[in-house]
Homo-oligomer: A and B are copies of this chain.
Amino acid sequence: MTSQKEPQEGLSAPAKVTGPSSWSRVSCPCCISSHIEPLVLIQLAENIQPITKQWIMSVISAPVKAGGAQLLVHPGEDMKGDMIVVAAPRCTLLRVTEDLGLCKTYQDGNMTAFSFEDRDNFCNIDDMQQFLTLAERQYIVKHELDSMRAREDQRIPGIPAPKGKLKARESILQKLEKAGVIRNITPLHKQKLLSALGKQWYSHKSLWGQPLDSIHAYFGGTIAYYFSFLDYYTLSLFPPAILGLFITFFLPSANFSSGNKTESAPAPPKDDDDTPSVSSYMVQAVFSMLWSTVFMELWKRRSAALSYRWGTFNLAEQFQEPRPGFHGELGTNPVTGRLEPLFPEWKRRLRIGLVSVPVVGVFLGLVVMGMAGFYFFERLFSNWHKASGSYFTAVLLYLPSIAHIVYTNVLGNIYRNVALKLTEAENHREESSFDYHHTTKVLVFTFFNNFAVLFHIAFFKEDMPLLRKRLSSLLIVTQVVNQFTEVVVPFLVDRFLTSADRNLKEDDPEVDHLQAQGSLPAFPGLFAEYIELLVQFGYLSLFSCVYPLTAPLLLLNNLTEIRTDAYKLCKLFNKPFSAPVANMGVWQTAFEVLSFISVMSNCWLLLLSPRVKDLTEDAGLSSSKVLVIAVIVEHALIMVKMILAFMIPDEPDWVRIKREQIEYHSMQALKKQRIMRSRVEDKVPLKA
Please pick, from B344, B346, B672, the residue contacting A673 in the complex, using a CB distance under 8 A. Answer: B672
The answer on a CB contact under 8 Å between B664 and A336 is yes
**CB-defined interface of A249-286 with B at 8 Å, one 1/0 digit per residue?**
00000000000000000000000000000000000000
Say if the beta carbon of A29 comes within 8 Å of chain B.
no
- Complex Cα gap A357–B657 (Å): 27
Minimum-distance CB pairs A-B, first 8: A115-B671, A666-B670, A669-B673, A669-B669, A353-B647, A669-B670, A666-B666, A118-B675
- The answer on a CB contact under 8 Å between A670 and B665 is yes
Within the complex, which residue of B316, B345, B647, B668 is in contact with A653, where a contact is CB–CB below 8 Å? B345
Alpha-carbon separation in the docked complex, A676 to B662 (Å): 17
Known: A350-B647, A661-B335. A117 touches B671 (CB 8 A): yes
Among A344, A649, A664: residue with most chain B CB under 10 A: A664
The answer for the CA separation of A28 and B649 in the assembled complex, in Å, is 46
- Nearest CB in chain B: distance from A375 CB, A: 14
Between-chain CB contacts (< 8 Å), 21 pairs: A101-B667, A113-B667, A115-B674, A118-B674, A118-B675, A121-B674, A335-B660, A336-B664, A344-B653, A345-B649, A345-B653, A349-B646, A349-B647, A352-B647, A353-B643, A353-B647, A662-B670, A666-B666, A666-B670, A668-B673, A669-B672
Q: Does A503 contact B (CB under 8 A)?
A: no
A208 within 8 A of B: no
CB distance from A35 to the nearest CB of B (A): 29
Query: Once the chains are docked, how many angstroms separate the CA of A165 from the CA of B664?
Result: 36
Query: In the bound complex, what is the Cα–Cα distance between A676 and B117 (angstroms)?
Result: 10
Per-residue B-contact encoding for A75-107, CB less than 8 Å = 1, 0 else: 000000000000000000000001001000000
Contact indicator A113/B353 (Cβ below 8 Å)? no
Q: Is A496 an interface residue (CB 8 A)?
A: no
Q: Which residues of B contact A656 (CB under 8 A)?
A: 345
Extra contacts, 11 of them, besides A118-B674, A316-B667, A676-B676 (Cβ < 8 A), are A98-B671, A113-B670, A118-B675, A344-B653, A346-B649, A349-B646, A350-B647, A662-B670, A665-B670, A666-B666, A668-B673
Residue of B whose beta carbon sits closest to that of A118: B675
Q: Which residues of A contact B (CB under 8 A)?
A: 98, 101, 112-113, 115, 117-118, 120-121, 316, 318-319, 334-336, 344-346, 349-350, 352-354, 357, 460, 628, 639, 643-644, 646-647, 649, 653, 656-657, 660-662, 664-676, 678
Q: A interface, by DSSP: helix, strand, loop or mixed?
A: helix
Given contacts A318-B660, A661-B335, are A349 and B649 in contact (CB under 8 A)? yes
Known: A664-B336, A669-B670, A670-B665. A115 touches B643 (CB 8 A): no
Instruction: Contact check, B319 vs A664: say whether CB atoms are below 8 A apart.
Output: yes
Contact B345 A460 (CB under 8 A): no
C-alpha spacing A318/B663, complex, angstroms: 11
Q: Are B353 and A628 in contact (CB under 8 A)?
A: no
Q: How far is the CB of A191 from the nearest CB of chain B, in Å? A: 38
Nearest to A628 among chain B residues (CB) is B460
A662-B353 Cα distance, complex, nearest whole Å: 30
Measured CB to CB, the closest approach of chain B to A44, in angstroms, equals 38
Chain B's nearest CB lies how many Å from the CB of A269?
A: 29
Interfacial chain B residues near A336, Cβ < 8 Å: 664
Residue of B nearest to A643 (CB): B353
Give Cα A678 to B125, complex, Å: 16
CA distance A666 to B669 in the complex (A): 7
- Using CB atoms, name the residue of chain B closest to A116: B671
Give the distance to chain B from A268, nearest Cβ to Cβ, in Å: 31
- Give the nearest-CB partner of A115 in chain B: B671
Nearest chain-B residue to A667 (Cβ)?
B666
CA of A113 to CA of B675 in the docked complex: distance in angstroms?
Answer: 12
Residues of B within 8 A of A644 (CB): 353
A665 proximity list for chain B (CB < 8 A)? 670, 673
Query: Nearest Cβ in chain B — how far from A480, in angstroms?
Result: 35
- Contact B646–A353 (Cβ < 8 Å): yes
* Residue from A98, A118, A646, A678 with most neighbouring chain B CB atoms (10 Å): A118
- Considering the complex, give the chain B residue whose CB is closest to the CB of A671: B115
Expressed in whole angstroms, the minimum distance between the Cβ of A174 and any Cβ of chain B is 27
With a CB–CB cut-off of 8 A, which chain B residues contact A319?
A: 664, 667
Q: Name the CB-closest residue of B to A649.
A: B345
Residue from A643, A649, A667, A675 having most chain B Cβ neighbours under 10 A: A667
Instruction: Say yes or no: A657-B335 contact (C-beta < 8 A), given A664-B319, A666-B667.
Output: yes
| Contact assessment for B357 and A643 in the assembled complex, using a CB-CB cutoff below 8 Å | yes
CB distance from A334 to the nearest CB of B (A): 5
